[in-house]
Amino acid sequence: MLDFISHIDLAFMVEAGPLYALAAKRTVFLAGAGIFLSLVIGLVSSLIRFYRVPVLKTLVGAYIELARNTPLMIQLFFLYYGLPRVGVRLDGVTCGIIGLAFLGGGYMAEAFRSGLEAVSRVQIEAGLSIGLKRTQLVRYVLMPQAFAVAVPAVAANTIFLMKETSVFSIVALADLVYVFKDLIKEGHSNENIYLLMIFYLIIILPVSLFFGYWERRMRRAGFSA
Amino acid sequence: MLDSALSLFLQGRNFARLMEGLWVTLEISAVSVLLSMVLGILVGLMMISRNPWVRTPPRFYLEFIRVIPILVLLYLFYYFPARNWDLNLDAKVVAVLVFTLWGAAEMADLVRGALTSMPVHQRESGRAVGLTEVQINRYIIIPQAVRRLIPGVINLTTRMIKTTPFIFFINVPELTKVGQQIVEVAGMRNYLASFWVYGFIFFLYFIICYPISLFSLYLEKKWSN
């Protein structure tokens, strides 16, 4: 029953470790780029909706619903295998980052929207009455307060997006799962499973702990609801 | 261009097979959501227990499930029991098992949230007018908790549906896998096959998840007085 504990092939794990480490590094890079872009897209989208910019707000609304109601894997399949057939060719890295940013942008937009809605109208009116410009209002009044409220949702989205990168091997990206699928063909399924879990823990757990710490700080400072 | 789509979907059993794939997707989601609800309510009640020995294990369980990508859990349950205990689980069973473990964790957190956010005066008022504890739970606490819970449960359902493509990796013939098989066969003759098939699957996910999301939003608005 518990044989698997005493039968760990440590030599294999030491040998395969660097392959996983390299893949983890790549995963972190792709996730970082995708999450950064999704924050930018989310921020811009939420501001467009908040200020009810004509035409754009409808487009952004449609985008958010599309992104939030379809799976990343299908978005990637379509980007990587579907689009080249109508003349749009993207390599795996580009597809991965675009896919993650497309998906994440929708989620981040919703997170920021709830933050912006939490800022009371009085704050905006007060800002305008002391003569702040619109850009100043956004930068010094709206954003700091909205962001504080949005932190828990942004944190949850970030972790979610990091986990979603696990499907990147379908667009031929050599991520952790790709290395796992490659190595497990030769056996050592236990050790490969351990390595896969360990490396995901190494990249996701610190982020999760960091956000937990940050949220507690925000709460203590009385910034969030 | 459109005739290539028509010939693709009308050819042989292509359309019927996609619908069968969709059925597998929905079946696994539905079973997993139902099991998650039952298990999640139990774990959620454990989480609000006053006894730390009861309260703490579910917390670790939730944190673990939240940090590990679902794809990794699928691989874990797909390979590990087979390798170590000669227990070859059917891939569909693995899918339901993993989605239930994940769904139950999320559900438990929803239950915990719904119950802990209930103001204390609700229970106290019940006592003041002379209701028994059973009556308080039956007529005051549970109806309100259920209202807080339902939008979250519906949300979990769409998340479950959007996570099903992951079981492509353990070769369950769900929508995405069927789509890939069709593309492989038809792709040689029909240049646009991948564009249409993946585009269609993208559209299918959207028309299933979007109405469910809208319904959840509607209930949330209706019940948040």
Mean pLDDT of all residues belonging to chain A: 89
Residue type for A60, please?
V
Tally the domains of chain B. 1
C-alpha B77/C-alpha B71 separation (Å) is: 10
Query: Could you report the per-residue pLDDT of A149-179, keeping only the tens digit for each?
Result: 888 899 999 999 999 999 999 998 889 999 9
The minimum CA-CA distance between A82 and chain B, rounded to whole Å, is: 4
Q: Give the position of tokens 């170590």.
A: B84
Q: How confident is the model at residue A206 (pLDDT cuts 50, 70, 90)?
A: very high
Residue A195 within any structural domain of the chain: yes
Full domain range(s) for residue B216 = 2-223
Return all residues near A31 (Cβ < 8 A) that are at least 6 apart: A100, A161, A162, A165, A203
For the residues B108-131, what does the mean pLDDT come to? 88
**Contact: A77, B69; criterion CB under 8 Å:** no
One-letter-per-residue 3-state SS of B167-213 = HHHHCCCCHHHHHHHHHHHHCCCCCCHHHHHHHHHHHHHHHHHHHHH
**Contact: A81, B183; criterion CB under 8 Å:** yes
Mean pLDDT of all residues belonging to chain B: 89
Residue B145: its pLDDT value, please? 86
Residue B46 has pLDDT above 60, yes or no: yes
Q: Which sign, positive or negative, has the C-alpha torsion A150, A152, A153, A157?
A: positive
Residue A90 within any structural domain of the chain: yes
Structure token pair of residue B53: 């020995």
Q: Beta-carbon neighbour count of residue A71 at 10 Å?
A: 24
CB pairs under 8 A between A and B: 115
C-alpha A17/C-alpha A196 separation (Å) is: 10
Q: Beta-carbon neighbour count of residue A74 at 10 Å?
A: 27
Q: Which sign, positive or negative, has the C-alpha torsion B186, B188, B189, B193?
A: positive
A86 has a chain B CB within 8 A of its CB: yes
Of B168, B194, B195, the CB nearest to A73: B168
**If you count DSSP H runs as helices and E runs as strands, how many of each does chain B have, helices first?**
10, 0
**Contact: B205, A201; criterion CB under 8 Å:** no
Residue A164: its pLDDT value, please? 93
ipTM of the complex: 0.87
Q: Give the position of tokens 């704050």.
A: A123
Q: Which sign, positive or negative, has the C-alpha torsion B137, B141, B142, B143?
A: positive
For the residues A91-100, what does the mean pLDDT come to? 93
Q: Is A113 left (phi over 0), alpha (psi -120 to 50) or beta?
A: alpha
Does A225 or B9 have the greater pLDDT score? Answer: B9
Tally the domains of chain A. 1
Q: Give the position of tokens 């995405």.
A: B176
Q: How confident is the model at residue A37 (pLDDT cuts 50, 70, 90)?
A: very high
Residue A225: its pLDDT value, please? 47
C-alpha A214/C-alpha B45 separation (Å) is: 27
Full domain range(s) for residue A135 = 11-220
Using DSSP, state whether B86 is helix, strand or coil: coil
**Contact: B162, A166; criterion CB under 8 Å:** no
Question: Which domain CATH number covers A216?
Answer: 1.10.3720.10
Residue A200 has pLDDT above 90, yes or no: yes
The model's pTM: 0.88
Q: Which of A171-175, A208-212, B34-38, B133-137 has the highest mean pLDDT?
A: B34-38
Residue B82: its pLDDT value, please? 81
For the residues B14-43, what does the mean pLDDT come to? 92
The minimum CA-CA distance between A34 and chain B, rounded to whole Å, is: 17
Does B101 or B120 have the greater pLDDT score? Answer: B101
C-alpha B194/C-alpha B187 separation (Å) is: 7
Percentage of chain B surpassing pLDDT 70?
100
Residue B225: its pLDDT value, please? 58
Residue A15 has pLDDT above 90, yes or no: no
Residue A27 has pLDDT above 60, yes or no: yes
Closest CA to B164 of B35, B71, B78: B71
Question: Which domain CATH number covers B193?
Answer: 1.10.3720.10
C-alpha B37/C-alpha B162 separation (Å) is: 18
Residue A102 has pLDDT above 90, yes or no: yes
**Contact: A200, B194; criterion CB under 8 Å:** no
Task: Let me know: does A102 contact A60? Beta carbons within 8 Å.
Answer: no
Query: Could you report the per-residue pLDDT of A108-145, keeping only the tens digit for each?
Result: 999 999 888 888 888 888 998 999 998 888 888 888 88
**HSE-CB of A65 using CA atoms within 13 angstroms:** 16
